[in-house]
Amino acid sequence: MKIVTCIAPVNIAVIKYWGKRDNELILPINDSISSTLDANQMCAKTTIMASPNFLDNKLWLNGQEENFDQPRLKNCLKEIKKRIYTDESKENIVNWNIHICSENNFPTAAGLASSAAGYACLVFALAKLYNIEGDISGLARRGSGSACRSIYGGWVKWCKGEAADGSDSLAVQLAPPSHWADMRVIILVVNESRKKHSSTNAMKTSMSTSTLLTTRAETIVPARISDMEAAIKAKDFAKFADLTMRDSNQFHAICLDTYPPCFYLNEVSRSIIEFVHEYNDFKESTQVAYTYDAGPNACLYTLENNVSELLAVIDEVFPTNAAREEYIKGIPV
């Protein structure tokens, strides 16, 4: 028997991925950039056991047994097995059945990048199990697009690539976490329930109905990606924050332009957006940026020296549990 256990953190996109040019290979229509959070905070933990005595493959997610026959899991396994070095003279682990047990320490499918952490962790664990070397972001991408970014720490770009077979649609690290050591992310959990529209289905509908989406991917994102890379390199928080907030807003505008529309933000999300702009105006400098994925929960980027005052003000402005049903965390990038 062989057992491996791995953890992988979530990543929070600052230039968003939305829309695929190939649904099967999970190839995006634009580059995206994210930061991967500290591994000790919000993460997926996966244990994989392989044994010649297991009669079946099995999968448990957050303690519940799930069907192993899932297309994305199958795709990941198929691609991984292509990269396994097999030694015919030895008993071959690749033929053993596996048991996969994965759990998240944060709300699943509430727009908090749970599939990203989950598939990054799964692929990383499988790579360890089968001793696969080299870049595995392309393997993680086959599980969930955004998962390829969680393979690396710090600031990460998912290059959309040009090849029809997806061979160059990979993640690269732009800078390690130490580059911007005082960067922090605060997650305001507005609602923990599962989202109504899965990202996969919603982005498919956006691709077929939103006229804004192509314009975004072709004419807006390329410039934003290079501006964001420059802002991160220079540790220019004001520029970084401006691009992050505009890109979040544009992503949600695309969701509204999708037909029928996808409403991910709620009243509390919108009041947090207003709060952030008012806070920055009051401070006469940009101290905090919001970004929202496919859900109502706010991710706030700020620098370490602002965290305690900002959390105190958030406590004042949102005194009930409205914006903080469960917890607020200051998470180092």
Nearer to ligand 2P0, 1 or 223 (CB): 223
* Residue 102 touches ligand 2P0, criterion: CB under 6 A: no
In Å, how far are 44, 149, 218, 314, 316 from 257, measured between CA atoms? 33, 27, 17, 31, 35
- Measured from the CB of residue 40, what is the shortest distance to ligand 2P0 in angstroms? 21
* Residue 294 touches ligand 2P0, criterion: CB under 6 A: yes
- Measured from the CB of residue 80, what is the shortest distance to ligand 2P0 in angstroms? 17
Question: Edge to edge, what strands does the sheet with 64-66 contain?
Answer: 2-9, 43-51, 97-104, 58-61, 64-66
* Residue 13 touches ligand 2P0, criterion: CB under 6 A: yes
Nearer to ligand 2P0, 110 or 126 (CB): 110
* Residue 199 touches ligand 2P0, criterion: CB under 6 A: yes
- Measured from the CB of residue 91, what is the shortest distance to ligand 2P0 in angstroms? 35
What's 235's DSSP letter?
T
- Measured from the CB of residue 260, what is the shortest distance to ligand 2P0 in angstroms? 18
Question: How far is 290 from 302, CA to CA, in rounded Å?
Answer: 9
Nearer to ligand 2P0, 50 or 120 (CB): 120
* CB atoms closer than 10 angstroms to residue 316: 8
- Measured from the CB of residue 327, what is the shortest distance to ligand 2P0 in angstroms? 21
Could you say which of 57, 200, 205, 271 contacts ligand 2P0 (CB under 6 A)?
Answer: 200
Question: How far is 58 from 183, CA to CA, in rounded Å?
Answer: 39
* Helix/strand/coil percentages in the chain, nearest 5: 40, 25, 35
Please identify, among the stretches 10-18, 94-102, 125-133, 227-235, the one whose residues bind ligand 2P0 according to the rule CB under 6 A.
10-18
Closest CA to 173 of 189, 193, 153: 153
Nearer to ligand 2P0, 26 or 221 (CB): 26
User: What is the H or E stretch that residue 288 is in?
Assistant: strand 288-291
Nearer to ligand 2P0, 130 or 292 (CB): 292
* Residue 122 touches ligand 2P0, criterion: CB under 6 A: no
- Continuous H helices in 142-215: 199-209, 211-215
* Residue facing ligand 2P0 at closest CB distance: 145
Please identify, among the stretches 40-48, 144-152, 272-280, 324-332, the one whose residues bind ligand 2P0 according to the rule CB under 6 A.
144-152
Pair 328, 50: CB distance under 8 Å: no
Please identify, among the stretches 9-17, 181-189, 227-235, 266-274, the one whose residues bind ligand 2P0 according to the rule CB under 6 A.
9-17
Long-range contacts of 317-325 (CB under 8 A, 24+ apart): 317/275, 318/188, 318/268, 318/272, 318/275, 322/190, 322/268, 323/188, 323/190, 323/268, 323/271, 323/272, 323/298, 324/188, 324/189, 325/189, 325/190, 325/191, 325/192
Q: Which residue has the tokens 């997806």?
A: 166
- Chain residues 23-42 in contact with ligand 2P0, contact rule CB under 6 A: 26, 32
Q: Binding residues for ligand 2P0, how many (CB under 6 A)?
A: 16
Pair 173, 155: CB distance under 8 Å: yes
- Measured from the CB of residue 210, what is the shortest distance to ligand 2P0 in angstroms? 14
Nearer to ligand 2P0, 46 or 115 (CB): 115
- Report the interface residues with ligand 2P0, using CB under 6 A: 13, 16-18, 26, 32, 115-116, 144-146, 199-200, 251, 293-294
